């Protein structure tokens, strides 16, 4: 990578589709060997960003360099230095695992001897050597994902892009893929940028996380630093009635760092949460707000996202019940 300090460098990157702005002036850098996460709800601009960085989509404004190469003027150099695992399945089900890798290597113009050498290495790396001659249609979801990741590494890229790498997988398989991605990054020193709408995925995997909402980066730091940024404790309340007056009063309290309301839920970022619950209850009673449940917990990345955007990340499978899911999860801790 020509001793470049940053594998990815982005400045003011913007993409517009007519009057709609999908990505709005984002700037960030990814260090060599870093596992960097783009976390946000569906439609936040994550995939559009990946498509621009991998030269699949022309930018509207701004600039970006991958391994020192400009995504607009040095597209061939960028493509040679990156691997991509797309959100949607892209394997040929009628070919075997080895045949899929071989076809990919041919597309990259890899000489036959080098191609076979790398295929053997990749099959060992992704632990699919014993399944290399099995048709893809007979692979499990996790096996297919591992092969797609291995295929992205076949030509020895400097940067691997993973777009929603575990979407559609069951929880157990998803965790196995997490461990595999972490191994690639830590043991093989591969720079990885992944997009995800799974809070736990970003928290478990990433060295740093950028929160993306409506095409903008609203926060960027390590997972622990992001959690620390909103205070020591979170008091989550479920209430009935109009809590606007209560929320305004709490915002003026010196011990409250932040107040977020969503439907019939309120999250308070506070210091010394256990000591403050009685005060919160007293304020609620004075303002005529009925409290249905109270939960105290340390901040999670979901709490951070709510703090910066005023809403929870909406997972497709959760739909409009995302906030209820968060409340139930917190209540059961």
Residues of the chain with pLDDT > 90, as a percent, come to 73
DSSP state of 289: P
pLDDT band at 4 (very low <50, low <70, confident <90, very high): low
Whose CA is closest to 32, among 4, 53, 11?
4
pLDDT of residue 313: 81
Mean pLDDT over each residue of the chain, to the nearest integer: 89
Topology adopted by domain 226-331: Alpha-Beta Plaits (3.30.70)
Please list the residue range(s) of the chain that carry CATH number 3.30.70.100: 226-331
Residue 15's beta-bridge partner residues? 23
Take residue 22 and report the two structure tokens written for it. 């999908």
pLDDT band at 89 (very low <50, low <70, confident <90, very high): confident
pLDDT of residue 104: 94
189 class by beta-carbon count within 10 Å (0-12 exposed, 13-18 middle, 19+ buried): exposed
Is the pLDDT score of 77 beyond 60?
yes
Which homologous superfamily does the CATH classification assign to the domain defined by 6-222? P-loop containing nucleotide triphosphate hydrolases (3.40.50.300)
SS3 content of the chain, % helix, strand, coil (to 5): 40, 30, 30
101: left (phi over 0), alpha (psi -120 to 50) or beta: alpha
Is the pLDDT score of 333 beyond 70?
no
pLDDT of residue 328: 36
Q: What is the pLDDT of residues 154-193, one digit of tens each?
A: 998 999 999 999 988 888 888 989 998 998 899 888 999 9
Whose CA is closest to 193, among 38, 24, 18, 1?
38
pLDDT band at 230 (very low <50, low <70, confident <90, very high): confident
Q: What is the pLDDT of residues 293-324, one digit of tens each?
A: 999 998 889 989 988 888 888 543 343 334 33
Please list the residue range(s) of the chain that carry CATH number 3.40.50.300: 6-222
Cβ atoms 229, 304 nearer than 8 A: yes
Pairing of strands 159-163, 82-85: parallel
């Amino acid at each position: 990578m020509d001793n470049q300090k940053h594998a990815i460098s982005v400045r003011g990157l913007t993409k517009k589709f007519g009057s709609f702005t999908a990505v709005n002036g984002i700037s960030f850098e990814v260090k060599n060997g870093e596992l960097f996460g783009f976390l946000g709800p569906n439609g936040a601009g994550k995939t559009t960003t990946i498509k621009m960085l991998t030269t699949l989509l022309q930018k509207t404004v701004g600039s970006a360099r991958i391994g020192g190469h400009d995504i607009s003027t040095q597209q061939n150099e960028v493509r040679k230095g990156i691997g991509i695992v797309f959100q949607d399945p892209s394997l040929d089900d009628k070919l075997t695992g080895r045949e899929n890798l071989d076809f990919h290597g041919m597309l990259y113009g890899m000489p036959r001897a080098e191609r076979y050498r790398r295929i053997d290495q990749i099959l060992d790396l992704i632990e699919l050597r014993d399944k290399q001659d099995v048709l893809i249609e007979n692979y499990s979801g996790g096996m297919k994902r591992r092969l797609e990741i291995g295929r992205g590494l076949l030509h020895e890229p400097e940067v691997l892009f993973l777009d929603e790498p575990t979407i559609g997988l069951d929880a157990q398989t998803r965790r196995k893929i997490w461990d595999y991605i972490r191994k690639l990054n830590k043991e093989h020193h591969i720079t990885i940028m992944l997009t995800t709408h799974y809070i736990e995925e970003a928290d478990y995997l990433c060295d740093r996380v950028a929160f993306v909402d409506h095409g903008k980066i609203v926060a960027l730091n390590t997972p622990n630093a992001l959690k620390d940024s909103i205070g020591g404790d979170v008091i989550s309340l479920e209430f009935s009635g109009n809590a606007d007056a209560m929320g305004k009063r709490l915002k003026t309290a010196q011990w409250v760092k932040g107040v977020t309301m969503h439907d019939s839920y309120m999250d308070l970022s506070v210091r010394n949460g256990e000591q403050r619950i009685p005060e919160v209850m007293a304020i609620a009673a004075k303002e005529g707000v009925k409290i249905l449940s109270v939960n105290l917990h340390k901040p999670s990345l979901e709490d951070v996202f709510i703090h910066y955007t005023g809403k929870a990340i909406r997972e497709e499978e959760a739909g409009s019940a995302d906030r209820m899911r968060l409340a139930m999860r917190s209540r059961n801790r």
